[in-house]
Structure 1
């Protein structure tokens, strides 16, 4: 678990943060999209 927390912190610092979603369908669609963009990407 400690390793997962460290990796999560590294991802956050690198800007690999997903956008927030209003529903599960939108979240799953984003995860399945090969062209998905993280929150900090324009």
Structure 2
């Protein structure tokens, strides 16, 4: 038997981790490919 409240909390936590992971990925991409030359 699953507990609905616990399931919701777990899902929220997983969603937060996914969002953080995506933010980290885009930050890493920005660092790898800078939008402007660093030594300008």
Same fold (TM over 0.5): no
TM-score, with length taken from structure 1: 0.39
Report 1 or 2 for greater relative contact order, CA contacts < 8 Å, sequence distance ≥ 6.
1
TM-score, with length taken from structure 2: 0.41
